[in-house]
Structure 1
């Protein structure tokens, strides 16, 4: 059958390691990163989204045999496109118009001069529409969650309306020329400063300075924040009228040379408890302070005044009956020498308790103990998560938004835009201005509540001063939002709407790229209510349709939540049918000229327990296939920071996978399990060989091989089991993985005899000693002797025992050009040693000497040994070394190509 479309780059090959390295590095970027506009959970890295969109739209050179008639010319052109992607994904190039325009030109060339619109029906944090817009594409997105929609509008919809406009504030302008959204960003910053000044006039008295101890220079200093502990009545009847702290730590600072901790001072006679600031101290002092009054995991404490046990049951009973209180432990101040600590005073406690808010979020906390850790401790609404002083501060800033609107003597649209960003600044401030933030003694700074995707119960907490100039300050939040707006890059138009993915209407020219919910990962709607209450209070008049409901919609959220759907089975069925319906709309209506790309994120527990055939992954794939898509590719994406040499992780599966999908042929046939297995055996090996040629890391191979394997499975209408029942996706995944194992085992036969012996011995014994007789049998079966392997310099044989030499025991002066008994095993181990001990250039020099033909076999051995370590020996540490070698293989071969051999002992670098 004639192919009706041109294959795109993403259907064939992408520079995966460069994309993953850029995605991991992006996590360390803070200032100006679009994600700092407002918190959203599990965003896709912008680098990955940008690269995927480019590769999804640009033709693979094999689609143009008239221009690239040979494999060699195809490969040269593919490498050129890879270089564009490698430049495109770098963070510093995300605002580089020259680099971006080069990418846009390639997209236009493959799309007949017209840039197609991109749609993400699960737009979430907005990464995909933002990157589509950056590439010059009309960007559309939608989400059921109003908080996500608001973030998306602020990221891609509002900035183009005021492109290249000068700021309108009456103050001194920062610059003489404004491009993109720089003017809008400056106005957000200016009016944020204006709001802070007005708020200080109204509530500044609630945030007094504190007296600094002599150890820190003495005198009064501005307060950064207050460290509080929750309290309960002592369980000892003799002290039942005393509120005792239930604190998880008394540490204040672990910074070298600046250690500080709290020493409790207990007077049983007067029934009083106070805390002294101690500076310095021994290791024993710090160790003692580390656990506060905590005795074990959970709500287990000891009474500081009586020594009695405080049990979780007792803590909950006190909390529910209103007997849980709080006490001030210490005050963090900004002293001349830096951050310092002052002792608690009754004045500071009294001021904190002297105010009452006029409004607080009234939405009920969800009954979801897995993610809402405060349940059972007397918390009923989201408003209960804040102290009264925090609520007064947040309300004061929120009330000032209407005054900002009247201050901006410009169009209503522009005033609404500035107010929107300032409202987002207040909303994101709530994450650092609540009674569940922690004080991080190791970094001497605040830790926001949403350090993970949950609302934790905290026993001691940090209350930030919103006028401190540090984290938890409103102006810091507003400035962060301003910087995110300032970095917006003008490109295509953008629009985000509030709609369920099952109701989206697509036009026939739309390209689909989406990051849907992941089975049972996180109920984002439940967590989003934390922000929704504040955003609704501030923005309902501007966006009435978005904030029309009292809380974030939940029952239609496409996650397999057993709490909402009365059990695991119902939740799985809800997810499968809903996702199938949503993806069916994509498959029916979107463009046939381009593949769709759909992201799937693995939970770490899911990876550890079930690997590539996990229930969530299989259910997700089933929905994709039932919707009418054929999966033609899978690319593992990594987002965790890692050592450069081991950039693909140790031996774990990737964090997420991008599925590349095409519409299934209408006349797809039905085949049997036997026919499917034969097709896999025929088609999977060459596909895996291509993945190896592209240096896909061994850790990523199981997920990468799913693509061509599912390509076989999903192109058929049905694969029938022996009893004529349809084969499940989970079974297909297991068969694909089995074929991958078979392929990797077959590599064994391509190695020299000594390497085949050593690989077999390694599988059985690792680097431990084994019996000579067994070794002799293995060697004889390969037509060699144990002595031959010993002569090659890779084993030790003595006293009836044999063992493989470890890398650090091999000849340090080994030279592949002069070795008269060269083995692939030895070459592989020496390469890893050079890489781990001396770095990439040293490894590239050695690779140059090994030669390109033998190098490919070395790479095959690394894949094989990784499989042995991971699947047969469970040796994660050794697996990491083989994975690390392949992870940088492309870089090593490029570097080796720049090295010119001048004689047997000297090499020089060529400039190319």
Structure 2
């Protein structure tokens, strides 16, 4: 920003102004964009540094929070929201530009969609005119998008905002921003300029954003990309390394990126040349190994035979390749042949391997033998209730099983790249011609050669830090390899080939001019290069998975080892962005010892069921801890488990209080803190209130972002959403809080906040056809209100809040906080009267009735997220909402249709069966079976003692079902029944 612009600003004029995020937040659109970013998987900007770090928050969410904390509200809330959405490229113009960047519409498609008076201006036949500009195309793109209904339909056609050139995407935004904030002297033409000018108005200088739980680096990265100075810290050095990589590799200058890419090519070429010289990955015909498949072997206690273990012997489904066991009676073992092009029947048979349901299962001479794996291991129970087994614990000098170990390891298949199918050792995938084969004696000799090299050099490599010598410390996640394999040092999780290749790779990177980049590449390589990599026969022609596809150390009976040919420079290809010249500081310290003052603290802290990063990242620390390069050498390369904030309960609360109290002490009085946490259990709310209370912070706002996605790993109703809490320092002085006084205040605050939000919803929906918030967002207003009121207190029930917050909880205890959170949720939910029901009728419905009607209303609006159902079930005190659910998949949840309820669902034993709605559903089901409405009403009169009192209520709910039910026959029956009930004459 030039000095002339700076002189038009009045520093600190916004010192006491609230932040826009305290009043407005485009929650629904952020939810969609966050999910779109998540679904990009490997294409996410920071994932390329290391997909093993699972806790990164979506960058679009971080961007929204940073802007929302800096932008001030004006007297025109609707205009504030409009500017906010333009800055996020959520507006119609931004959507059109994003769609054009993705080439969402072909010329032919636009001609089909639109009536164009002068087509020759745009098209040459069915294609675009060659001289057409993007501005010309935008004219048609705007019209095309206007024909689409929802935001989701429009946004799904385009690129994500971060994928589009910002100069072009935001070109029309800056004049609007400058006009809206002209009274403040804002004159910005880029995000860094806007950020600096807003920082001067609030704080007198460019703002600094801090994150003391920086994890994978998404918060400091996106804050820096916007133009903030950033401070990042984490106890875990792997997290610090990834954050450094985000800021200094992905955000590197073009000149620096050229150095990095050249270094990657040189290291890969040097290691590849040494492996080629050793002759350990090529066969006599010049074929190059792409992958090696190994399995465990163990001796059957019944027959004495050595049996290979694998849950499946399918190697490639697309190529119909299987491993086939053939008995070797002389050797009392099995030969393993590799067969291609088998029949579907043989493929199906091979899917059942020698490990089934926790047992070793195999056939020999027509007889089937079964032995539990725990019997093979010799599992037994100790006096203290824990278990142990007879597995030998491997020692520091081990890198392969000893001959008398229970589990042996065996190479049984190699995937080869045919000679000539590669260009300079790095073929494009489409040009590779591969085949699978059982190892020959020459292949096994190459295995022995690798093992001999490792045996000769292991001690030296460990002393030099080229191979780990670090023991595996027992823990929740680290117990698995110790218990099931006897592995006690981290290098035991890697076989001889991997140890050799890693030692060569680390040695080369140490001498590189960009060794710090090498450390990040090494960590990424480790995630794909351990005995914890499962072979997936359904992945293309068959391929290995990576280690941390979930947050555990999974051991397998058969595993895959990539050939080094797969670790080409292309494997380490990294995203690139333009990063402004801002200050960036990264330190590895506990969260309660921040080293900088920051205007904003934004963090995604650990809580309750957090990932045990302090354990699983020891997998990487073991390799990286000796002789790390600058700046990593300033960090403690240890997980420091004792210092990690983890678990739940009193210890967790104390650790979090210390962290947030320290952040508050390193923040100006008008600073803002933002806490993001994954919302799976509303019980966490009480803990969070306690933490912020004791830290001297007050909640100013709360928003809910749905970030859930579906995948194989999220079956069984696993959902995920993120709650955003905005915090300020609590005002000085004492404030006593008593339940009798606070409860009316909470209810009043809930009503005020929701009425404000509902009013804006109506205005925006009238103008743009869609509201700002859905029911889940509005329900969150209830939580925000109770947080705001409670955290303003210094004493609760006469007890100082820090003492109250940190005292141990009795099992099943319902505190005043729990009670008020529930009361607030109920108050908010009571105000969310579905369209078509009167407030009086809504007030008379039971919890299960409200739940069913509310969910039908949400489904009619297109909301199908399971966590919404969970939240409302809790707010309405529904005992078991699953009884009325027709589908519980995360993004496809729905209640049962009227026709889907079985008789057992509507008995007196169920919540719904005891309700009037349950009786109404039974009546509608009778009408669907041709029973007349008159007969159904007569039954109501006989069976319902209060029929005269509830007749009009039944009529209103029936009319509601007539409008909201997705089943046409039900709508028709409900409409008839509603009319009959409403028009029933006295005495009829």
Q: TM-score, normalised by structure 1?
A: 0.71
Q: Give structure 1 stretches of 5+ with no counterpart.
A: 62-67, 161-179, 212-218, 405-414, 561-570, 796-803, 824-912
Report SS of the residue matched to 2:414: strand
- Residue 190 in structure 1 maps to residue 190 in structure 2: no
Query: Out of 205, 214, 218, which is 1:123 matched to?
Result: 214
1:805–1:544 Cα change, 3 Å: closer
Counterpart CA distance in 1 for 2:246 and 2:800 is 53
- Residue 382 in structure 1 maps to residue 490 in structure 2: yes
* Shift in Å, 1:430: 1.0
Counterpart CA distance in 2 for 1:22 and 1:695 is 14
* Shift in Å, 1:401: 2.1
* Shift in Å, 1:700: 5.3
Matched ranges for 1:404-483 at <5 A: 404=512, 415=513, 418-443=514-539, 444-468=542-566, 473-478=567-572, 480=573, 483=574
* Shift in Å, 1:347: 2.8
Instruction: Provide the residue aligned with 1:293 in structure 2.
Output: 354
* Shift in Å, 1:806: 4.7
* Deviations 1:107-160, CA, capped at 9 Å, x for gaps: 445434542111111212111111110010111111111121222222225777
Instruction: Provide the residue aligned with 1:214 in structure 2.
Output: none
Report SS of the residue matched to 2:88: helix
Instruction: Provide the residue aligned with 2:66 in structure 1.
Output: 53
Q: Check the 8 A contact 2:737/2:798 in 1, yes or no.
A: no
- Residue 558 in structure 1 maps to residue 609 in structure 2: no
* Shift in Å, 1:445: 2.3
Q: Check the 8 A contact 2:295/2:309 in 1, yes or no.
A: yes
* Shift in Å, 1:622: 1.4
1:553–1:651 Cα change, 3 Å: closer
Counterpart CA distance in 2 for 1:737 and 1:793 is 25
Instruction: Provide the residue aligned with 2:199 in structure 1.
Output: 111
Report SS of the residue matched to 2:635: coil
Report SS of the residue matched to 1:455: coil
- Residue 323 in structure 1 maps to residue 326 in structure 2: no
Q: Check the 8 A contact 2:477/2:553 in 1, yes or no.
A: no
* Shift in Å, 1:450: 0.8
Report SS of the residue matched to 1:366: coil
Query: Out of 673, 680, 690, which is 1:622 matched to?
Result: 690
Report SS of the residue matched to 1:266: strand
Counterpart CA distance in 2 for 1:552 and 1:731 is 39
Query: Out of 955, 965, 969, which is 1:809 matched to?
Result: 969
Instruction: Provide the residue aligned with 1:575 in structure 2.
Output: 652
* Deviations 1:446-492, CA, capped at 9 Å, x for gaps: 21111111111211100100113xxxx253443x2xx23x3353352
Query: Out of 835, 838, 849, which is 1:750 matched to?
Result: 838
Q: Check the 8 A contact 1:60/1:78 in 2, yes or no.
A: no
Q: Check the 8 A contact 1:121/1:143 in 2, yes or no.
A: yes
Instruction: Provide the residue aligned with 2:415 in structure 1.
Output: 332
| Stretch moving more, 748-757 or 86-95 | 748-757
Instruction: Provide the residue aligned with 1:91 in structure 2.
Output: 160
Counterpart CA distance in 1 for 2:833 and 2:959 is 26
| Stretch moving more, 343-352 or 443-452 | 343-352
Matched ranges for 1:758-777 at <5 A: 762=917, 766=921, 769=925, 772-773=937-938, 775=940
Counterpart CA distance in 2 for 1:707 and 1:671 is 17
Instruction: Provide the residue aligned with 1:259 in structure 2.
Output: 320
1:442–1:115 Cα change, 3 Å: same
Counterpart CA distance in 2 for 1:420 and 1:723 is 49
* Deviations 1:272-298, CA, capped at 9 Å, x for gaps: 41233344545543333223111204x
Q: Check the 8 A contact 1:196/1:467 in 2, yes or no.
A: no
Q: Check the 8 A contact 2:376/2:406 in 1, yes or no.
A: no
Query: Out of 326, 334, 343, which is 2:438 matched to?
Result: 343
Instruction: Provide the residue aligned with 1:20 in structure 2.
Output: 31
1:261–1:620 Cα change, 3 Å: farther
Query: Out of 593, 598, 610, which is 1:503 matched to?
Result: 593
Q: Check the 8 A contact 2:700/2:784 in 1, yes or no.
A: yes
* Shift in Å, 1:344: 2.9
1:35–1:787 Cα change, 3 Å: closer
1:766–1:192 Cα change, 3 Å: farther
Counterpart CA distance in 1 for 2:341 and 2:969 is 45
* Deviations 1:349-371, CA, capped at 9 Å, x for gaps: 33223331433212221212445
1:304–1:10 Cα change, 3 Å: farther
Report SS of the residue matched to 1:678: helix
Q: Give structure 2 stretches of 5+ with no counterpart.
A: 1-13, 95-154, 171-188, 379-389, 393-403, 422-431, 762-770, 805-814, 854-914, 927-935, 980-988
Q: Check the 8 A contact 1:24/1:641 in 2, yes or no.
A: yes
Query: Out of 513, 516, 519, which is 2:602 matched to?
Result: 513
1:538–1:36 Cα change, 3 Å: farther
* Shift in Å, 1:762: 4.4
Report SS of the residue matched to 1:190: helix
Counterpart CA distance in 1 for 2:954 and 2:240 is 68
Instruction: Provide the residue aligned with 1:40 in structure 2.
Output: 53
1:105–1:474 Cα change, 3 Å: same
* Deviations 1:491-521, CA, capped at 9 Å, x for gaps: 52211112112121443x5211112222352
* Shift in Å, 1:324: 1.4
Q: Check the 8 A contact 1:54/1:103 in 2, yes or no.
A: no
Matched ranges for 1:146-185 at <5 A: 146-157=237-248, 181-185=253-257
- Residue 716 in structure 1 maps to residue 793 in structure 2: yes
1:91–1:349 Cα change, 3 Å: farther
- Residue 487 in structure 1 maps to residue 577 in structure 2: yes
Counterpart CA distance in 1 for 2:666 and 2:270 is 52
1:546–1:805 Cα change, 3 Å: closer
Q: Check the 8 A contact 1:254/1:441 in 2, yes or no.
A: yes
Query: Out of 530, 552, 561, which is 2:619 matched to?
Result: 530
Instruction: Provide the residue aligned with 1:641 in structure 2.
Output: 709
Counterpart CA distance in 1 for 2:20 and 2:716 is 28
Q: TM-score, normalised by structure 2?
A: 0.66
Q: Check the 8 A contact 1:673/1:720 in 2, yes or no.
A: yes
Matched ranges for 1:675-694 at <5 A: 675-691=741-757, 693=761
1:678–1:32 Cα change, 3 Å: closer
- Residue 208 in structure 1 maps to residue 281 in structure 2: yes
- Residue 391 in structure 1 maps to residue 499 in structure 2: yes
Instruction: Provide the residue aligned with 2:729 in structure 1.
Output: 663
1:95–1:280 Cα change, 3 Å: same
* Deviations 1:532-560, CA, capped at 9 Å, x for gaps: 1222235257643215x5x3222111112
| RMSD over aligned Cα atoms | 3.9
* Shift in Å, 1:429: 0.3
1:280–1:308 Cα change, 3 Å: same
* Shift in Å, 1:6: 1.6
Report SS of the residue matched to 2:213: coil
Q: Check the 8 A contact 1:426/1:477 in 2, yes or no.
A: no
- Residue 250 in structure 1 maps to residue 313 in structure 2: yes
1:440–1:697 Cα change, 3 Å: farther
Q: Check the 8 A contact 2:675/2:724 in 1, yes or no.
A: yes
Report SS of the residue matched to 1:277: strand
Instruction: Provide the residue aligned with 1:794 in structure 2.
Output: 962
Counterpart CA distance in 1 for 2:482 and 2:917 is 52
Counterpart CA distance in 2 for 1:806 and 1:783 is 24
* Deviations 1:868-889, CA, capped at 9 Å, x for gaps: xxxxxxxxxxxxxxxxxxxxxx
Q: Check the 8 A contact 1:600/1:656 in 2, yes or no.
A: yes
* Deviations 1:6-48, CA, capped at 9 Å, x for gaps: 2212111211122222222222242472231134231111111
* Shift in Å, 1:105: 4.8
* Deviations 1:168-223, CA, capped at 9 Å, x for gaps: xxxxxxxxxxxx52222222222212112211222224543469xxxxxxx87432
Counterpart CA distance in 2 for 1:790 and 1:639 is 35
Counterpart CA distance in 2 for 1:80 and 1:432 is 44
- Residue 584 in structure 1 maps to residue 665 in structure 2: no
How many positions carry a matched residue from both structures?
719
- Residue 78 in structure 1 maps to residue 97 in structure 2: no
* Shift in Å, 1:348: 2.3
Counterpart CA distance in 2 for 1:54 and 1:765 is 50
1:635–1:332 Cα change, 3 Å: farther
Counterpart CA distance in 1 for 2:676 and 2:960 is 48
